[in-house]
């Protein structure tokens, strides 16, 4: 796992903590650590199901500016998610 990317994700999470926590589950304090983000990234990478989280980056600078999460992934002949 890339600890540099984990630091960027942590920075994004901390900068937007108040907003994100209005719309997501309560996070335990370990979530707001580099190690917590590395574990989150590892689980996401190994996941065969849901949820799947993807970074959103600025073109050119490649700065992480957000995340997109796919949930309720249905793997059928007409796959879908929300």
Backbone angles phi, psi at 74, to 5 degrees: -110, 115
Given a cut of 90, whether residue 49 has pLDDT beyond it is no
What pLDDT is recorded for position 80? 66
Which DSSP string corresponds to the chain?
A: --HHHHHHHHHHHHHTHHHHHHHSPPPPGGGGSHHHHHHHHHHHHH-SSS-EEEEEE-TTT--EEEEEEE-S-B-STT-B--
Percent of the chain with pLDDT over 90: 45
pLDDT at residue 31 greater than cutoff 80: yes
């Amino acid at each position: 796992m890339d600890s540099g990317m984990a630091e960027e994700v942590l920075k994004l999470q901390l900068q937007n903590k108040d907003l994100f926590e209005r719309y997501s589950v309560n996070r335990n304090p370990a979530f707001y650590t580099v190690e917590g983000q590395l574990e989150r990234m590892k689980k996401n990478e190994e996941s065969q199901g849901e949820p799947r989280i993807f970074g959103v980056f600025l073109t050119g600078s490649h700065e992480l500016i957000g995340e997109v999460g796919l949930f309720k992934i249905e793997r059928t002949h007409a796959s879908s998610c929300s």
